[in-house]
Amino acid sequence: MRWLLLVLVGLVLLLQYRLWFAEGSLAERQRLQRQVQEAERENARLRARNEALAREVLDLQSGKAVVEQRAREELNLVREGEVFYQFVEEGNTPAPPVEP
């Protein structure tokens, strides 16, 4: 009877080891859950970025107004007959070049 008790205790210890430390343990499960949550957050961020890019592509394909707006804002282009004014703040003006 005593040997049966020792076998059962040994079996319980072996199972406890597998539960806490071996492959498929609770610690590994928590680590994998954290990885899944991080991947889901990254996927959500990338999905939102893709949706914004898709909207931008549709806007650019739909007409010239968006293309013209981007040309004006990003490239500082103007139409023929228009005047371009650029305002520079006082503190941010570059120093004039020094001639030797």
Query: What would the DSSP string read from start to end of 48-93?
Result: HHHHHHHHHHHHHHH-HHHHHHHHHHHH----TT--------GGGP
What one-letter code names the amino acid at 14? L
Instruction: Encode the chain (100 residues) as per-residue pLDDT tens digits.
Output: 888 888 888 888 877 777 667 777 777 888 899 999 999 999 999 999 999 999 888 887 887 887 788 888 888 788 888 887 777 787 766 666 666 5
Q: What was the pLDDT predicted at 79?
A: 81
pTM for the full predicted model:
0.49
SS3 content of the chain, % helix, strand, coil (to 5): 70, 0, 30
Query: What is the pLDDT, as a whole number, of residue 62?
Result: 82
Q: CA 94, CA 76: separation in Å to the nearest integer?
A: 20
Provide the pLDDT for residue 66: 77
